[in-house]
Each structure stands twice: as C-alpha cells, then as structure tokens.
C-alpha cells in the first residue's frame, strides 16, 4: 500500500493522530484514502477547526516535502556553477571562453550541469565521459534538442543534422551513409585530385594572398559542389549557385545559434497565428525559396542523367535508388543541400589550421616533406594510392583535427530517458554538449603534452599509424562527434584533407587562438624544388583543367 512519498506522509499524519487519539476526522481521511473510498472526507473547515488534525496535516505535508527533496534525483545532477533567478546559467553557457578554460574543468569536473533558463544542459569536459555516454550509450543520446526557428520554421523539419532520432532520421542517415561509403568515395577521388591540383597551383601563384583562406574556401566549396551535384569546377568564390547556398548555410547557422530567436526560448510563440508573426511568414517564404533552389539543383542532375550522363555524384546515387532510399522530393533536396552546409566550411577551416600548424611547427613540416620525398619522389604529385605508405602525413592530419578542432563544441545531443552516470543524474530531455576542445586536449588520454602539436602520438614505435582506440573516437577523430550522430562525411573530409596536403609553408605564428578559425597570419607558399611547375602543368593538362 505504501509506495509513494504521499503515502508515507499520510501514514505519518495518521500515526500522529492515533498517538493523540483525538480526531475522528483524520481517521476518516486515512480510512477513505487507504481502506474505504466510500467514507466521507472531512471538509476544509472541519480540518481547520480540529487543531490536532491541522498539526497532523502539516506534519504529513512536511514529511512529503522532505522525502521528495531527499529522494529527488535532481539533487544528484552534476556539479554546477551558481545560478541567477529565471535565466539560470544562460550567461555561463554563452561565455564560450570560460567554458573552454581549464579553470572550468578543474572546478566543475568532467561532467558539468548548467540550467539554461529551465532547460537542463550537460557539458562533457572529458573524453571518457563524452565517450561513455554519447558513444557507449548511444541509444539514449542520439536525439537532438528542439530548434524551432532553424528546423521547424525555416526548414519544415527537413534538416537532417537537426532531426530528432527516429524513423525519418534513420532513413536519411542510411541513404547518406551509402552515398558516402568507402566504395562510393573512390568515385570522387578524380574530383578531389583535380581540385587539389588547382589549389596547389593557385597557392603557388605570385598574386596569391598571404593568408590562404580564400583558396581553401574555394577548394572546399568547389569540391563538395562537384561531389554533390556534379557542378563544374568553380574558378572563383563569386559563383552564383555557391552564393545562394552559402546564404542558406549562414541563415541556418545563425538561426540555430543559441539565443538568436525568441521562439527558441519561448516555444509557445510557435502557436501565434502567422498574420501576427512576421518572422513566421518570412521563415515560411524563405523555406519555399530554399526548397526551389535545392530542387532545381537536383533536377539538373536528373536532366543530365536522362540525357545519358553517368558521372558519379551524391545526388545521382540518391536518384538512382528511389525504392531503396524511400526519400520524398523535399527530403532528398534538403539532405543534399545540408551536405554543403556541413562539409565546406569545416574542411576549409581544417586546411587553414593545418597550414597554421605547419608554420608553428616547422620541424614537423620537414618530417612530412621527407616522407613525401621518400615515398612519392620529386617527379610526380601524390595520389590516393600513396596514402597507405604515408603514415606520417595521415598522422599530421589526425593531429591537426585534434590539436585545433574546428568545432570547439560538438553538435548538441539530447537524452531520451533519465540516466545515471557515476552517481550523477542526467535528466530526460537534457541537452548534452561535448566540449570538443577539452576532450581533444584531455591530459588523461593525450598526456601532459596534450597542447603540443605532435603527430607522433598517432604512430607506433615502428612509425605505423596506430589502430584500435586511437583509430576510433578516442583520439584524432573526436572532432567528428560521437555515437550514432557522428559526422557522416568524415571519410570524405579525410580524403579531401589528404590529397590537398603537402606544400611548403613559412610565416609568423600569431599565437594560440581560442576561436575556431586562426586569426589572419602571414604565410608564404613556395615550391620545394625546381621542376615543380612542369609537374603541375602536366597534371593540369592530363586533368583538362
């Protein structure tokens, strides 16, 4: 009979009454509630007039409150900084440099709790905690938090990366996974090789900017557009299609940023009729425009295929398997469109950090060049076939991704059910954010020199690339996220990074930065040996650039 805090409270009140042997009214209450629901419940007036009954009621209520407090799992949420009324820890969440500081981890530990205006939020500050939950208990941590503006209004629920964990996400993930499988990726190697040749040529041009970011942006955007839509190589960043897609990417990332829309803080605003909410009308109009753009791009591939074109592309592989993928037209259009948003900027910024690392650690640059000279020689450009023989270069890429992860905080996951981790309570619906920076600089995993750029940490004593835990999420690939929501374009990104590495770079180190992209730095790109131009020229002719 006694199976809740209320029952215990009632029992305490009843015992008190029996002890006082006074009130028959209290007997009536307990009898009614526990034994015989037909009995009459005393009125509030009767309780009020019977002094000892009032005392019993207060005692019962106090018992319930104390029990609820003592037993509440919320007392066991992870350590948390002080909170302000109403907004809770919102200011802490917005202070990214504080979240990234070692002070934050030292004070609040590996798993930290923040209350974002009533929304429970968990930050994972160590690789172990992020891995234990987001990866090992992935079935409970693969959902995404609700983003009303970015997902519901601007995208009609179609942004795959923001989708709730469920049937639709699974269907889209399977389709994306197949179109980006290792086998499918081989089809894109010629595109990546061609783009890498253009990149190296443009970096070596005397007019090239001192800060190579523009070239990296063009390379990444053009590569991904060719892979997605078989789009012709983009010679400049002023390409019209590219501009439209980049505007979409910007809109999506702005609208998904925390605190940028009132409707995300007060989701009830979603019920305001459109005629009173301009933001809703504008969002709906924008959705239709974006859909028309993405649909138009896919239709171009369809027309090309109907005319006998058989060049591989991400869109073509989705179009070819309509039965298997079971994707509707809007699902397909937004899935392909998202791939650009997710893959272009991330790849370009990683290349920028790679250049920065080569400048800051010239001895590592020399080592990678020595490996290239030994394996590839000086009379041709490296190819994908060389990759297995270039472990040091692969380690350099892994280390770049670890040392300066382009996304300092991984995409937020959400807990589907209440959970316990090492005695700490993680409530259902909590937003779970991996602090990628802290995870990839975790001294418990990477040692005391975690802040150093040291590609050797990914190699064994014979210079071979380590497999096992290092090959999985435990090291270089933390930057790609965790569990079932891990980046679906990871292998494609690694291929693009591999084929575009390997130029000679010197310059000034502006010091470590906290922001995602390095601050502009001076950099000179120069050829390492004579004859380089003619090799590039031959390659350009072969690839018909």
Interface contacts to ligand HEM, rule CB under 6 A: 160-161, 173, 338-339, 342-343, 346-347, 350, 406-407, 410-411, 479-482, 485-489, 492-493
Enter the tokens of residue 127.
């690789």
CA-based nearest residue to 147, from 156, 138, 139: 156
Give the residue with the Cβ less far from ligand HEM, 219 or 482: 482
Q: In angstroms, what is the minimal distance from the CB of 328 to ligand HEM?
A: 18
Q: Which helix (H) or strand (E) covers residue 120, if one does?
A: strand 119-124
Residue 9 vs 489, nearer CB to ligand HEM: 489
What is the nearest approach in angstroms of ligand HEM to the Cβ of residue 487?
Answer: 3
Least Å from the CB of residue 223 to ligand HEM: 9
Q: How far is the CB of 406 from ligand HEM (least distance, A)?
A: 5
Instruction: Answer whether 113's CB lies under 8 Å from 157's CB.
Output: no
Minimum CB distance to ligand HEM smaller for 424 or for 493: 493
Cβ of 467: how many Cβ atoms within 10 Å?
9
Residues 6+ apart with CB under 8 A from 54: 47, 48
Judged by beta carbon, residue 173 or residue 454, the one nearer ligand HEM is 173
What the block records as the tokens of 399 is 């280390």
Q: Look at residues 412, 408, 483, 429 and name the one whose alpha carbon lies nearest to residue 77.
A: 429
Q: Which residue is listed with tokens 């502006």?
A: 510
Residue closer to ligand HEM by CB (options 14, 482) is: 482
Nearer to ligand HEM, 17 or 325 (CB): 325
C-beta of 375 vs 387, nearer to ligand HEM: 387
Q: Whose Cβ is closer to ligand HEM: residue 68's or residue 490's? A: 490
* Nearer CB in complex with ligand HEM: 17/142: 142
Cβ at position 545, least distance to ligand HEM in Å: 22
Burial 397-429 (b: 16+ CB within 10 A, else e): bbbbbbbbbbbbbbbbbbbeeebebeebbbeee
On the CB side of 218, CA atoms within 13 Å amount to 23
| CB of 326 or CB of 366, closer to ligand HEM | 326
Residue 185: CB minimum distance to ligand HEM, A: 10
Angle among Cα 507, 513, 519 to the nearest 5 degrees reads 50
Q: Which of 432, 420, 431 is nearest to 76 (CA)?
A: 420
Nearer of residues 128 and 527 to ligand HEM, judged by Cβ: 128
The answer to whether 27 touches 15, Cβ cutoff 8 Å, is no
CA torsion through residues 216, 339, 163, 111, sign:
negative
Dihedral in degrees, nearest 10, Cα atoms 81, 83, 88, 93: -30
CB atoms within 10 A of CB 261: 21
Smallest distance, ligand HEM to C-beta of residue 494, A: 8
Measured from the CB atom, the residue of 489 and 507 that comes closer to ligand HEM is 489
Q: How far apart are CA 58 and CA 362, in angstroms?
A: 74
Q: Using the structure block, give the residue that is written with the tokens 């990546």.
A: 192
Q: Please enumerate in sequence order all residues whose Cβ is within 8 A of that of 246, keeping only pairs 6 or more positions apart, or say none.
A: 221
Q: Answer whether 396's CB lies under 8 Å from 336's CB.
A: no
Q: 3-class DSSP state for residue 112? A: strand
Direct distance between the N- and C-terminal alpha carbons of the chain, in angstroms, rounded to an integer? 81
Q: How far is CA 267 from CA 19, 64, 99, 110, in A?
A: 52, 33, 26, 31
How far is CA 358 from each of CA 71, 239, 393, rounded to the nearest angstrom?
55, 30, 12
Give the number of C-alpha atoms closer than 13 A to the C-alpha of residue 100, restricted to the C-beta side: 17
């Amino acid at each position: 009979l006694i199976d809740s805090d209320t029952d215990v409270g009632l029992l305490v009140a009843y015992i008190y009454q029996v002890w006082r042997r006074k009130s028959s009214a209290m007997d009536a209450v307990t009898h009614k509630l526990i034994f015989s629901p037909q009995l009459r419940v005393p009125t509030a007036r009767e309780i009020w007039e019977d002094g000892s009954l009032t005392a019993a009621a207060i005692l019962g209520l106090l018992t319930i409150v104390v029990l609820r407090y003592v037993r509440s799992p919320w007392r066991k949420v992870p350590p948390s900084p002080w909170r302000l009324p109403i907004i809770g820890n919102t200011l802490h969440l917005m202070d990214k440099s504080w979240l990234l500081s070692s002070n934050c981890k030292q004070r609040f530990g590996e798993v930290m709790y923040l209350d974002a205006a009533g929304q429970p939020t968990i930050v994972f500050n160590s690789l172990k905690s992020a891995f234990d939950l987001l990866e090992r208990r992935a079935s409970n941590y693969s959902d995404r938090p609700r983003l009303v503006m970015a997902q519901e209004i601007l995208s009609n629920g179609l942004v795959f990366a923001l989708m709730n964990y469920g049937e639709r996400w699974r269907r889209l993930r399977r389709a994306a996974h197949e179109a980006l499988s290792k086998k499918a990726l081989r089809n894109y190697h010629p595109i990546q090789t061609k783009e890498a040749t253009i990149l190296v040529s443009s970096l070596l041009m005397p007019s090239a900017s001192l800060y190579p970011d523009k070239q990296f942006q063009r390379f990444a955007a053009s590569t991904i557009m060719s892979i997605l839509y078989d789009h012709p190589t983009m010679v400049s960043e002023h390409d019209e299609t590219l501009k439209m897609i980049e505007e979409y990417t910007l809109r999506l990332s702005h609208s998904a940023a925390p605190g940028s829309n009132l409707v995300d803080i007060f989701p009830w605003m979603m019920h305001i009729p459109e005629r009173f909410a301009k933001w809703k009308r504008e969002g709906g109009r924008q959705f239709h425009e974006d859909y028309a753009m993405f649909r138009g791009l896919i239709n171009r591939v369809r027309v090309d295929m109907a005319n006998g074109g058989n060049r591989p592309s991400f869109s073509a592989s989705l179009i070819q398997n309509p039965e298997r993928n079971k994707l509707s037209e809007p699902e397909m259009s937004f899935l392909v469109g998202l791939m650009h948003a997710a893959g272009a900027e991330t790849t370009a910024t990683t290349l920028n950090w790679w250049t920065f690392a080569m400048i800051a650690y010239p001895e590592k640059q020399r080592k990678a060049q020595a490996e290239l000279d030994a394996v590839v020689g000086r009379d041709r450009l490296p190819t994908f076939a060389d990759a297995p023989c270039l472990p040091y270069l692969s380690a350099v890429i892994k280390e770049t991704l670890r040392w300066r992860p382009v996304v300092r905080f991984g995409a937020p996951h959400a807990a589907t059910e209440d959970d316990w981790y090492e005695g700490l309570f993680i409530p259902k619906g909590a937003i779970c954010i991996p602090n990628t920076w802290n995870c990839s600089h975790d001294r418990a995993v990477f040692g005391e020199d975690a802040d150093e750029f040291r590609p050797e940490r990914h190699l064994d004593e014979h210079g071979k690339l380590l497999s096992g835990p290092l090959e999985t999420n435990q090291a270089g690939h933390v930057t790609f996220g965790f569990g079932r929501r891990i980046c679906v374009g990871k292998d494609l990104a690694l291929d693009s990074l591999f084929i575009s590495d390997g130029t000679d770079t010197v310059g000034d180190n502006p010091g470590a930065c906290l922001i995602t992209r390095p601050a502009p730095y001076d950099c000179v790109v120069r050829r390492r040996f004579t004859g380089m131009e003619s090799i590039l020229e031959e390659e350009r002719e072969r690839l018909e650039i």
